Amino acid sequence: MMMIKNTFIEVSTDCPVETGVVPVTKKDSKPIHLIQYELLTQAPYTYTLEDLIFEVHIKRSDSPKDNLEQIREQLFQKSHPCMRASLLPKKYGWGVHHNNEGKIAIYAMESPEYQGFLEDDKVKREYAMRSKRI
């Protein structure tokens, strides 16, 4: 998996909210974007994209956790979407920053940090994927 570094993912151009919204669920099992939110707010700049995908997979699966290396190897035999496809920047108003080490943190779109990334010419910027086709 390619390491994304020094990149800020802006909320999608069709994001339906004006501020960062904390995702919630009424289901018994937590959706991927809610687990991503919890992990990234509890431990910013701890996870690379690959680490985050793996942690979400482990939290959602019912499989035994005794052979994590094998589980990780099997998980990454197929490709996975990047954070541009996450509902956090697409629907919930959270920008995603990958630092120089490829570790991730999220910032609410109304925050001064979010605005700072928009004004920083040293950081590559990309939009999250749109939810609807034009």
> pLDDT tens, 53-68?
999 999 988 767 788 8
What tokens were used for 69? 């290396």
pTM of the entire predicted model: 0.92
Domain ranges of the chain: 7-127
Query: What is the number of other CB atoms lying within 10 angstroms of the CB of residue 64?
Result: 8
Question: For position 131, what pLDDT does the model report?
Answer: 83
